[in-house]
Amino acid sequence: MTRQKGFTLIELMIVVAVVAVLAAIAMPQYTQYMMRGKITEAVSGLSGMKIKLEQYFQDNRAYTGACAGGTVAPVPTGDSAKYFDFTCALATTTFLVTATGKNAMNGFVYTIDQANARATTALPSDWSGSGSSCWVVKRDGTC
């Protein structure tokens, strides 16, 4: 009597089903993990802009004219703005810097002003915490 070697079709189907279930659970979690990692670009860019704008204000006694190339407070560009576009709204004694998500980060909008008031002004629909007084860095809306 010879013994058969190898896997039966049912064993193979069970392995395929287990791998499919694991992939269905792991992929969305990994995607969210990668997005949380990209949020740091906005947070660090906004924090850096606030410091640079304060330095500009100390030198010029006004925020107007900042955020332009050639000043101490240019908006981040190039590799430092891969997932977010940064814009400045300037007045003599106030500013509002906004980081708006692009590419894989569409839907995310964060702001900071001269009083260091940080806010999450928009998030994708499957995230919570929009309108909060902090930069939301977790999917559950906690700061």
pLDDT in tens, 17-48: 999 999 999 888 888 888 888 998 999 999 99
DSSP secondary structure code for residue 16 in this structure: H
Note the residue count of the chain: 143
pLDDT in tens, 40-51: 899 999 999 999
Would you place residue 59 in the very low, low, confident or very high pLDDT band (cuts 50, 70, 90)?
Answer: very high
Helix (H) or strand (E) holding 21: helix 9-60
The C-alpha angle with vertex 10 and arms to 5 and 13, in degrees rounded to 5, equals: 115
Q: Is the pTM of this model over 0.85?
A: no
> For residue 81, how many C-alpha atoms fall within 13 Å in the half-sphere facing its CB?
16
Would you place residue 126 in the very low, low, confident or very high pLDDT band (cuts 50, 70, 90)?
Answer: confident
